[in-house]
Structure 1
C-alpha cells in the first residue's frame, strides 16, 4: 500500500513505483472508508488534486466517473456522499457522460441521511456535496439547466425531519444561482421550477416544518445572489442573472407563504 501521508507531504506528487491505474483504484476504495482522514484528507484530496492537474487520462476519468455513479447506490453513507465530489471534479475537468446524471438525480432526492458532520465519520454533507455537483452540471452545456433547477427544488421539498445546519442552504442556493445564469433559459424556465414550492411548503401558522425551514433559508440566500449577481467558479467578477426581476418576484411569492406578516 502506498504511503499517502508522504504523497501529501510531497505536494501530491504521483508515486513512480506503481502504475497510475493501481493508485487510482486504491484511492477510489479509500473514498468508502469510515475513517475521515483516509477518505477526506487522503483519498479525496489526492484525487481532486490529480484531476485538477490533468494527471488522469480521459479514459481513466470516465472509468472513475462510472465507479462514482455506481456509488450512489452504495450501502455506506460516506461512500454515497463523496461520489458527487469526485464527479464534480471530473466534470469540471471537461469530461462528462450523460449516464452519470440519472443515478445522481435519483440519489439526491432520495437520500435520507442528511447529517452534515458526524463525530465518528466526519463530514458527510449529502446536500452540500450534491449541490456542488448540481451547480457544475447546471453550468455544463450538455445538461439541460431546467433539469438541475427542478432537482434542486425537489431536494428541498422532499419530506425530512432534518434541519440543515452546516451551510448546506448556501451551497445549494449558489448551485441554483449558477444554473440560473444559463443564457438559454426563458423567463418561464427561470421561474416555473419554483411552482412546486407553492404546494410543498406548509403555509405559516400551521407548522414550522424542517421542509419549510430548509426551503425558505435556501431561497432567501438565492434571492440575494439573483439580486447581486453570482461569481461563477474561477471568475474574477460577478455574472448577472438573466430575468432577475421575474425570478425575484416569484421567490417573494414563495417566501410570503411563511413570512406573510413581514412584507
Structure 2
C-alpha cells in the first residue's frame, strides 16, 4: 500500500501539524483535510492510522471545528469501511474507532436526524456482531482491536439520550454476542471495554434489576451448557475465562463506585459469577 498522503500532505507536514496541535486556520482546508485523512484509517503504519488519522480527526471533532456536512460525509464514509474488504485487518477496527468520535459529536450536540441515528445504530450493531478478527496488539504492526473499538462505538451510542430503549436492547444484544467469542481468549482488555457501555446503560434506567439479572443469567448459561469436559477444551476454557472476566469487571466497578445508578447490575453480575463452574 502506498504511503497515505491526505490532501497532498506528506508525512513531514502531517507530523508538523500534529506537533502544532492540529491547528489549521482555514476552515475549508481543515474540513477537506479531515475528509482526506479518513482514507488513512487502514494504513499499515500504526503511527499513521492511529497517531495521525485517528488523533487528528479526534482532535478536530472534540474541538468542534468540523462542519455538519463534513461530519455527515465522515459518517457515511466510515460506515462503508465497516463492511469493505480489509485483508490486513486494520481498516474496519479503525473506521469503528473514528466513527465512535463522529457518534460522540451527535451526543454532545445532536445533528443527526432520528432516521440517520437509527441507521448508525444498525451499522454499529451489525459491525460488532460480525467481528471475527480478534487480533489485538502486535509490536510491529500495532493495534487492530476490533472488539474494543466496536465497544467504544457502543459506548457513545449508549450515552446518547436520543437512542431509545429498543435501540439499547439491540446494543446490549450485540455486546452479549461478543462477551465470549467461540474459542478465543481475550487478553487485551476487551472485557473491560465491553463492560463500559453496559455500566453506562444502567445509568439510563431503562431496564429493571430483574431484567438485568435475566440478561446476566442468560450470558452465564445453564448447567447443560457446561456439561461434559468443557475444562478439557480451549473453547470451554476460553468461554469460562471471558465470562468470568466480564462479570468480574461489572461487579467490581459497581461495588467500588457506590453509584446508585449501577446498583441494578449487582445482583445479576453476582449471580453470573456464582453460576459459572
SS at match of 2:90: helix
Gap change, CA 1:18 and 1:251, over 3 Å in 2: closer
Unaligned runs of 5+ residues in structure 1 are: 230-237
Contact 2:220 2:276 in 1 (8 A): no
SS at match of 1:249: helix
Match of 1:150 among 159, 173, 189: 173
Which residue matches 1:210?
A: 238
Q: Please show how residues 146-185 of structure 1 align to structure 2 within 5 Å.
A: 146-159=169-182, 161-185=183-207
Higher helix share: 2
Q: Please show how residues 64-143 of structure 1 align to structure 2 within 5 Å.
A: 64-76=74-86, 77-94=89-106, 95-96=111-112, 97-143=117-163
Which residue matches 2:253?
A: 225
| Cα deviation digits, residues 198-248 of structure 1 (max 9, x gap) | 43895386324312211220111111122233xxxxxxxx74325x2x532
Give the Å deviation of 1:41: 0.5
Q: In 2, Cα distance between the equivalents of 1:38 and 1:255? A: 41
How many residues are paired up? 248
Contact 1:31 1:44 in 2 (8 A): yes
SS at match of 1:32: coil
Normalized against structure 2, the TM-score is what? Answer: 0.81
| Cα deviation digits, residues 54-87 of structure 1 (max 9, x gap) | 1111121121011111111122221110122212
Q: Give the alignment's Cα RMSD to 1 decimal.
A: 2.3
1:38 paired to 2:58? no
1:57 paired to 2:57? no
Contact 2:127 2:150 in 1 (8 A): no
Match of 2:221 among 196, 199, 206: 199
Unaligned runs of 5+ residues in structure 2 are: 1-7
Give the Å deviation of 1:162: 2.1
Give the Å deviation of 1:254: 1.9
Give the Å deviation of 1:22: 2.7
Gap change, CA 1:171 and 1:239, over 3 Å in 2: same
